Amino acid sequence: MGKSKRNKGGRGGGGGADDQLDGGSDADSVASMSTALSELQLAQATEHVSSQEFVLDKYIDDLYEKRGSTREKALGALVDAFESFVLLGLVENKYVTLLSQFTNLIKKGSTKEVCLACRAIGLLAVTLGAGSSSHEIMDESHPQLLRILQTWPDAPKMISALDCLAIITFVGATDLAETQLSMKAIWDVIHPKSGSNVGIVRKPKPPLLAAAVSAWAFLLTTVGSSRRNTDTWKEPITFLSSLLEAEDRAVRIAAGEALALCFELKLLDVSSNEEPVVDSDTRETSGSKNQLFLSMQALKAKISGLVYNLSMEAGGRGADKKNLNDQRDLFQRISDFIKSGECPEESIRISGKNGILRVSSWRESIQLNYLRRFLGRGFLKHAQDNDLLHDIFDIKIDRVENMSTTEKKIFRSEEEKGRALKLNKERRLAQERKQNILDEQYG
């Protein structure tokens, strides 16, 4: 994933599978994951990387166990570890083994195992960052995730698969065709009747629909504005505009953000080669272009009106005031953007004086919100230590300033060891050169 590809700019509407699993965790699983995380923290506080590796290997071994509860605890511990630490050095040579077990559990595991395995695959890709390893993760996981989205199992599995597919495509895709393949699979969840192999037309429930729209918008942030043809985008934009009138507020918010991005990418604008022309020899072509132009202008006006109405929506008895205020605020910003072109801005202090994450476009805002929701409590740690996020958001981090007292001691100790090794090597080479000179003179 290069900067030129990401272009920067989802809010994870509808809640992820990890949110849905929180309420269903039993006491033993929570205690086990807490203990496992403590073990990893203890290992990290030592100077021996092998201690951390031993703890991770123990989790990996447990993924092979026949007892489902043992596998679930191991998956939960690995998810916790991937959230809490950027374990790049420890998983670079283990990701193939991890991926094999995760995909196997997606095929054969319980609902909870499938949800955890999907999340673990996404976190593994984020840990490894853009490159051949993440592309391999995408290639290997894609068929299993598509199978879930095409067979429509329960909602937690669907939402977990959507999150995973969006993340691994965002990190691992190397060309537009790969991204479009994932976007098509997600769109078939949003608007099922457009799918090629749908026997019975299904209708996604609000949490699933909101999650799918957010995942689709997240991947749309990687499609540059030059990659457009107005007629191609007309159908999805029209359907998204209809979701602004949905009963569920999360669906309306997800659709609003996706449409703001469409405006920012100018997907509703008729490009120069599509603009109406006056030519007696090409009257039919001119007519179709005029029709497209007028159609998109009408669609823009409709969306602008709906956005304004949502920014002014009255509460009513029993309304959730916080969510209502969030909706008003979002749609007010979208309305202002449509009128003036002024993009939203947001700043988050990651660490120290200069460790600031800034976003100033809908693309960046959507990417930030989606990654922040997906990483959950691990977002700050990854924003501080993960080069993938540094690249996406141009974050400059002073790593030493951001370290704990124990980490600084280990870092300084390693620096001193490195300097000592370098000096010893230089002395050895000097002695060898001196000996070679003596051998030549007296040999």
- Identify the pLDDT of residue 171: 98
Helix (H) or strand (E) holding 36: helix 27-44
Would you say the C-alpha torsion 229, 234, 235, 241 has a positive or negative sign?
positive
Lowest mean pLDDT among 44-48, 135-139, 290-294, 385-389: 44-48
Query: For the CA atoms of 370, 371, 375, 376, what is the dihedral angle to 10 degrees?
Result: -50
Token pair listed for 11: 């809010």
Residue 259: is its pLDDT beyond 80? Answer: yes
User: Could you tell me which of 121, 182, 185, 163 has the C-alpha nearest to residue 370?
Assistant: 163
- Identify the pLDDT of residue 68: 93
Q: How far is 122 from 118, CA to CA, in rounded Å?
A: 6
pLDDT in tens, 352-393: 777 889 999 999 999 999 999 999 999 999 999 999 999 999
Mean per-residue pLDDT, 151-159: 94
- Identify the pLDDT of residue 407: 55
- Identify the pLDDT of residue 47: 43
Q: How far is 218 from 222, CA to CA, in rounded Å?
A: 8
Q: How confident is the model at residue 412 (pLDDT cuts 50, 70, 90)?
A: low
Mean pLDDT for the chain? 81
Q: What is the CA radius of gyration of the chain?
A: 26
Mean per-residue pLDDT, 206-227: 90
Lowest mean pLDDT among 20-34, 58-72, 174-188: 20-34
CB burial of 292-325 (b: ≥16 within 10 Å; e: otherwise) equals bbeebeeebeebeebbeebbeeeeeeeeeeeeee
The DSSP call for residue 349 is E
Q: Which residue stretches of 244-315 are H helix?
A: 249-264, 283-311
Residue 406: is its pLDDT beyond 80? Answer: no
- Identify the pLDDT of residue 154: 92
Q: How confident is the model at residue 53 (pLDDT cuts 50, 70, 90)?
A: confident
200, burial (CB in 10 Å: exposed 0-12, middle 13-18, buried 19+):
exposed
At residue 87's C-alpha, the angle toward residues 212 and 167, to 5°, is 15
- Identify the pLDDT of residue 121: 98
Q: How confident is the model at residue 313 (pLDDT cuts 50, 70, 90)?
A: confident
pLDDT, greater one: 330 or 441 = 330
Phi then psi for residue 351, to 5 deg, are: -170, 150
- Identify the pLDDT of residue 158: 97
Helix (H) or strand (E) holding 108: helix 95-108
Token pair listed for 3: 């900067």
Residues 6+ apart with CB under 8 A from 240: 213, 255, 258, 259, 262
Contact 251, 325 (CB under 8 A): no
- Identify the pLDDT of residue 16: 41
Q: How far is 3 from 26, CA to CA, in rounded Å?
A: 42
Contact 338, 261 (CB under 8 A): no
Q: How far is 295 from 163, CA to CA, in rounded Å?
A: 33
Lowest mean pLDDT among 15-19, 207-211, 237-241, 287-291: 15-19
pLDDT in tens, 115-146: 999 999 999 999 999 999 999 999 999 999 99
